[in-house]
Structure 1
């Protein structure tokens, strides 16, 4: 049986847990950067890329970066970026 109140509560919980969200378009790909609040109260970053393959199917991949790893992640990302210029 469908419980509308329960569904609304889950939707509100999802909205409440979102701290930051930004989308970046890059050609045929979309990147999503979302900071969310974990059940233990700490924030984490989710990076999602999304595109359509040759069959027209939506393909997504997701990477989660937790707060205690973000500084190392950013340092390594910046270093890797120097090789792209």
Structure 2
């Protein structure tokens, strides 16, 4: 069975500007679980477009190492490279865009 045919156990979508990230938990044939992280970017404009996708597979034995490295890297960027940036402003901006999108959907 190919990866795209495997049942998704859990899925989380994160919209980030022109990119969308998908975090999908899937099961192996032996009912073991793994995570796929997919970045999807829309290419083209109007009715003529395609999606470019990049996929990363993460297996249970690497979860903790991956999370630790990601947290360490983000802390380095935030604290050492960009200490003057208020990263909470980006979360606020995302919430406002989400609210605007929800409002637009209600009125259409």
CA distance in 2, matches of 1:65, 1:32: 13
1:74 correspondence with 2:74: no
Partner of 1:41: 31
Q: Which has the larger radius of gyration?
A: 2
SS at match of 1:49: strand
Please give the per-residue CA displacement for 1:55-79, whole angstroms capped at 9, x wherever unaligned: 7431000000001111101110111
1:58-69 alignment runs, 5 A limit: 58-69=51-62
Give the paired residue count.
Answer: 71
Gaps of 5+ in 1: 1-12
Higher relative helix content: 2
CA distance in 2, matches of 1:27, 1:48: 15
Greater RCO, 1 or 2 (C-alpha within 8 Å, sep 6+)? 1
Aligned pairs for 1:1-85 (under 5 A) are 14=6, 17-53=7-43, 56-85=49-78
TM-score (norm 2): 0.59
Q: Tell me, in whole angstroms, the C-alpha distance in 2 between the residues paired with 1:65 and 1:26.
A: 21
TM-score by length of 1: 0.74
